[in-house]
Structure 1
Amino acid sequence: MSGIYIHIPFCKQACHYCDFHFSTSLKKKDELINALAKELFLRKAEFQNTTVETIYFGGGTPSVLSIDELQFLIDSVYKHYNVSEAPEITLEANPDDLIQAQQVSKHNSNTSSIFENYKKIGINRLSIGIQSFFETDLKLMNRAHNAEEAKQCLEEATQYFNNISLDLIYGIPGLSNEKWKENIEIALSYGIPHISSYALTVEPKTALERFIKKGIIDDVDDDLAHEQFHILIATLENHDFVHYELSNFGKAGFFSRNNSAYWQGKPYLGIGPSAHSFCGNERSWNIRNNSKYIASIEDGKLPKETEKLTQTDKYNEYVMTGLRTIWGVSLQKVEADFGLQFKKYLLEQSQTFINKQLLYIEDEKLKVTKSGKFLSDGIASSLFKLNL
């Protein structure tokens, strides 16, 4: 087994672009945490003969949890699962939560630093949601932190953790290429070894979509986002980062073990409302409702739906994830796992993109070129096979 993902569905406030499952009310936090621990117990039989290599707290905003709450959930994993000797344990965190907790510890001489406490309970990797170092961008996205907190957070965190990832968003309306370059340079100035960076997307039913439709915010400029994507690649590669996945850049030894396992098709268990799981032949997902999730778990029932994957489903998923990574799509693996017919189909469908220099074949692996990277998801969908 690759790892366990634990979804913490709470946020202080809603970011304008976010369509993840979360609640801004913490009223059911205690019940939810107990339900997460119980789901870990209920599902242990699914992964009896595997080893947990990564534990990932995602959200939502996991940094709203206290040290004791996080410790309780980590202990629950160790109690019911076989965990490797050196697991990667990641906590997604927002700068404002980290700064506020750090300020409390500084005013109380008997209280350890929040970062020291994270390390004591086994967390060894932080993923910090910076998004931008500019106030105008943060306000447009309705982030809970400000630009000063973003910088102060990294100053503090890097004193305790060397394995830190930060998120940056490009393609934000009003974000010039010059400001985008400055965002990247500020991030690099802290010696961060991993950066996840995404184009701002307008998801249905989000505040961002409403504001754009009403003309309050300018629409996203895809051409500008494309330019900023290539600025990102060039800048980070010049600083010894490896562009190992479409949205992820890491220095040697600092690739996300959790996310790399997803892209390489390893099984994973998703715990919590809206969390997804994958075990090779099937995919499942939990209900996107905190109250219903809690009630179902308390009754000893798993509130999930399951989808059996066909050979075609698995082929399509492998093509999608493979083209997003530096490892590409192995033609040998396609033939071995899916048959010669699938390999021939893949080569036939790929030829147009190879001719356009968007794809290429190297060492029996199909990969995207630099000019094809921004388009990789669209290219992959053109290579999909339909279930017939």
Structure 2
Amino acid sequence: MIYIHIPFCKQKCSYCNFHFSTSTSKVDEMVNAIKKEIYLRKDELQNKSLASLYFGGGTPSILKVDHLKSIIDEVSKYFEFQNDIEITLEANPDDLNKKFLQELSSTEFNRLSIGTQSFFEEDLKLMNRAHTSNEALDSIKRSQDFGFENLSVDLIYGSPSSSFLNWQQNLKTIIDLQVPHVSSYALTVEPKTAMENWVKTGKMEAPKDDFQNEAYFYMTEFLKENNFQHYEISNFGKESFQSRHNTAYWQSREYLGIGPSAHSYDGNLKRSWNIANNSIYLDKISANTIPSEVEILSEKEQLNEMLMIGLRTSWGVSLAELKNRFSLDLIEKITSEIEFKIEEGILLIENDYLKIPEKHWFLADGIVSDLFLI
């Protein structure tokens, strides 16, 4: 699979540090550089048959459809698209106007991931989102009108600006709109952000763990009652609508990341990431140089990563794969901790897969970190 990182943003959200901005005059140059990187790295993926092509990071929906289409065309020169390939565009609600969607509907894009976050104005203002609550609703309805049924909506829960009643209404709106996939995350206060400053100065209350816990467990039960499968800690999909792209990450398959700050993985030992600086990225690509750094994972790091990723999912980690891939000595180092956690009821073995029971998923990071080999 291939991930295309588009390094453009309209604004820096108050709850995250991520932000790349490039003037309009640089857009063509960046798109051409991304296409050139695809050519330079066309031989890196062992599997030339693509099941997923994902445009994300930044705000790819601010590009013209012609730009997006030209990148797809460049990928298709060197890779085979499977008949049922999933081609996803991350989009902001305020970018999904009638003209954009009409043009997009004539391309190969067949899935939209919409950064809705909330359907309430007070939440959107706190998160410094560019769209309004009406735009959040209208963007989903309009996308469906133009034939985009495979939609994923992002929601943020546990915001100090929100009540539990509002959170219930957010989830009910998803059901009413017949959205088939939800990615939902707790609001976090990241270092060196506007939100951190607001908490320190008393302008905003810090998110409360108890409220976020309650919101999370209500969401899991409510969505399952409405025929969603809870297949990863933060992701819910109706049958046949689980994200193929993200599932490939969680199953440790190989992927190629294109664009500034994009990450790649060969499915085995090698992980790499592109430089984040736009100017340096453009200079390197112009000089026919791949602007990336490479890390070779040790056996311990591979094991830690498999546990970290796999135990976030409903299917868990294959014990057979652990035994086939890693030395007996390494497996024995985590066996006693696994057995202890099974006795505690926070791990289980089912059909030869190691899993965290769903009721403990909210604490998964701490559970997995106890298994890590240092």
Contact 1:334 1:342 in 2 (8 A): no
**Aligned-pair distance for 1:49?**
4.9
Q: Deviations over 1:189-228 (max 9, x none)?
A: 1101100001111222222122222222111112211111
| 2:363 pairs with 1:375 | yes
Three-state SS of the structure 1 residue aligned to 2:112 is: strand
**Aligned-pair distance for 1:333?**
1.3
Rounded to whole Å, the distance in 2 between the matches of 1:335 and 1:76 is: 40
**Aligned-pair distance for 1:367?**
0.9
Three-state SS of the structure 2 residue aligned to 1:158 is: helix
**Aligned-pair distance for 1:258?**
0.4
Alignment correspondent of 1:121: 107
Alignment correspondent of 2:294: 306
Alignment correspondent of 1:225: 212
**Aligned-pair distance for 1:178?**
1.4
Closer, same or farther: CA 25–170 of 1 in aligned 2, 3 Å: farther
Three-state SS of the structure 1 residue aligned to 2:81 is: strand
TM-score (norm 2): 0.96
Alignment correspondent of 2:194: 207
Return 270-279 or 223-232, whichever deviates more. 223-232
Contact 1:21 1:288 in 2 (8 A): no
Contact 2:45 2:254 in 1 (8 A): no
Alignment correspondent of 1:62: 60
Contact 1:172 1:220 in 2 (8 A): yes
Return 86-95 or 339-348, whichever deviates more. 339-348
Rounded to whole Å, the distance in 1 between the matches of 2:80 and 2:358 is: 40
Rounded to whole Å, the distance in 1 between the matches of 2:340 and 2:212 is: 25
Closer, same or farther: CA 38–383 of 1 in aligned 2, 3 Å: same
Alignment correspondent of 2:33: 35
Matched to 2:292, the amino acid is K
Rounded to whole Å, the distance in 1 between the matches of 2:11 and 2:243 is: 27
Q: Deviations over 1:302-341 (max 9, x none)?
A: 1111000111111111101110001101212111111333
Contact 2:45 2:255 in 1 (8 A): no
| 2:42 pairs with 1:44 | yes
Three-state SS of the structure 2 residue aligned to 1:70 is: helix
TM-score (norm 1): 0.93
Alignment correspondent of 1:177: 164
Matched to 2:57, the amino acid is G
Closer, same or farther: CA 180–49 of 1 in aligned 2, 3 Å: closer
Matched to 2:123, the amino acid is D
**Aligned-pair distance for 1:21?**
4.3
Matched to 2:36, the amino acid is K
Of 73, 79, 86, which aligns to 2:77? 79
Rounded to whole Å, the distance in 2 between the matches of 1:53 and 1:236 is: 27
Matched to 2:351, the amino acid is D
Rounded to whole Å, the distance in 2 between the matches of 1:359 and 1:325 is: 13
Rounded to whole Å, the distance in 2 between the matches of 1:24 and 1:234 is: 42
**Aligned-pair distance for 1:370?**
2.7
**Aligned-pair distance for 1:365?**
1.3
Rounded to whole Å, the distance in 2 between the matches of 1:20 and 1:355 is: 41
Matched to 1:291, the amino acid is S
Q: Mapping of 1:13-32 within 5 angstroms?
A: 13-23=11-21, 25-32=23-30
Alignment correspondent of 2:239: 252
Contact 1:357 1:372 in 2 (8 A): no
Matched to 1:218, the amino acid is E
Rounded to whole Å, the distance in 1 between the matches of 2:337 and 2:328 is: 14
Q: Deviations over 1:336-356 (max 9, x none)?
A: 111333333333112333233
Three-state SS of the structure 1 residue aligned to 2:13 is: coil
Alignment correspondent of 1:216: 203
Alignment correspondent of 2:224: 237
The unaligned stretches of length 5 or more in structure 1 are 106-113
Q: Identity, % of aligned pairs?
A: 49
- Pairs aligned (count): 372
The Cα RMSD (Å) is: 1.4
Of 304, 313, 323, which aligns to 1:335? 323
Q: Deviations over 1:103-130 (max 9, x none)?
A: xx4xxxxxxxx33422321000000010
The unaligned stretches of length 5 or more in structure 2 are none
Alignment correspondent of 2:116: 130
| 2:195 pairs with 1:195 | no
Alignment correspondent of 1:155: 141
**Aligned-pair distance for 1:358?**
1.8
**Aligned-pair distance for 1:83?**
2.6
**Aligned-pair distance for 1:24?**
6.1
Three-state SS of the structure 2 residue aligned to 1:215 is: coil
Rounded to whole Å, the distance in 2 between the matches of 1:72 and 1:257 is: 23
Alignment correspondent of 2:352: 364
Contact 1:127 1:165 in 2 (8 A): yes
Contact 2:126 2:161 in 1 (8 A): no
Closer, same or farther: CA 381–27 of 1 in aligned 2, 3 Å: farther
